[in-house]
Amino acid sequence: MTASWRFSLSAALLLSAAGALAAQELPPAGFGSLRQDQIAITLSTGNLTVRVLPLDERVIRLLAPDTYASLRELKRTRATDMAAAARNAMSDSASAFVVTFFGLQPETRFEPDQLYLSSQNSFLRPLGIVPLTPRWSEGTLGQREQAVAIYLFPSGLQILQPFSVLYGDLRSDAWETNLRTLDAERSRVLGRAAARQP
């Protein structure tokens, strides 16, 4: 089964997708301790910061419990919107990411369609975007203002392998380093879970 979080044309199937992953692929929930900033991929210009966070269960289960619960609830409440966006792209599955644009200066422009991924010599454009904040379509941020959306990328993306994030002329390969952070935390999570067993 694919490693990415799966979407289906049926919202009900979409919601059960994470549970359909093989149990051995998923770390137990509720034992993570990572912060979002420890695994998010960040790109910055003088006026704008872009942060990209995968919503794959194998990643977010390694976050602190309250953060994991918040992101899982985000997936649940936006499942229908994400399924519709995938369906509009003629796809029945996708890999989901939360993308945040932060304005560092007044009247900062951002270009939502200029964010891409590069994986295994493939250039991946978003299949769809589900805005989470108002004024997303305006493409302008005030100082310290943010715009947030869920981006859907092709499900062939191997989330536990290195990939790059590109925005305009910027590129980040930080995910390769972040994978080592995730691997170390996964071992700690398994240890914590084992210690809780009767």
What are the pLDDT digits (tens) for 13-43? 343 344 444 344 799 999 999 999 999 999 9
Helix, strand, coil share (%) of the chain residues, nearest 5: 35, 25, 35
Look at strands 95-103 and 140-141 and give their pairing.
Answer: unpaired
Residues paired with 52 in a beta bridge: 41, 99
* pLDDT tens digits along 82-138: 999 999 999 888 999 999 999 999 999 999 999 999 998 899 999 999 999 998 999
Alpha carbon distance 170, 97 (integer Å): 18
pLDDT of 23 = 41
* CA 115 to chain CA centroid, nearest Å: 13
Share of the chain above pLDDT 90, in %: 81
pLDDT of 196 = 86
The Cβ of residue 142 has, within 10 Å, a number of other Cβ atoms equal to 12
* pLDDT tens digits along 136-173: 999 999 999 999 999 999 988 999 999 999 999 999 99
Alpha carbon distance 42, 2 (integer Å): 26
Measure the CA dihedral 181/65/189/35, to 10°: 10
Task: Give me the phi and psi of 65, to 5 degrees please.
Answer: -55, -40
> Is the distance from CB of 33 to CB of 6 less than 8 angstroms?
no
pLDDT of 9 = 38
* CA 125 to chain CA centroid, nearest Å: 14
- One-letter amino acid of 26: L
